[in-house]
Amino acid sequence: MSCTYDGRPVTLSRQILAEEFYWMEVEWGGPGLIHDEEAQAFYTPGGELALSRDRVDLQHLMGPGRMED
């Protein structure tokens, strides 16, 4: 399987989720995370990895300040 955005191989189930979340965040992301385009990752203001094309940390991705009331 490969990513529809750039053809990158996606072989692990966790990568599938990470790819989907990563590209959704690129397109629709809200305030609170810092996008490092070169690393293809999103970080919290404190520097913790929230999301990359290989890994999703839901605690940081959906954490305080990310969800609107």
Q: What does the alpha-carbon distance between residue 47 and residue 3 come to, in Å, rounded to a whole number?
A: 27
Nearest to 34 by CA among 50, 19, 22: 50
44: Cα separation from own chain's centroid: 11
Nearest to 26 by CA among 39, 45, 8: 39
pLDDT for the residue numbered 19: 86
Whether residue 69 is predicted with pLDDT greater than 50 in this model: the reply is no
In single-letter form, the type of residue at position 43 comes to Y
pLDDT tens for each residue of 4-62: 566 666 666 677 888 889 999 999 987 889 999 999 999 999 999 999 999 999 888 88
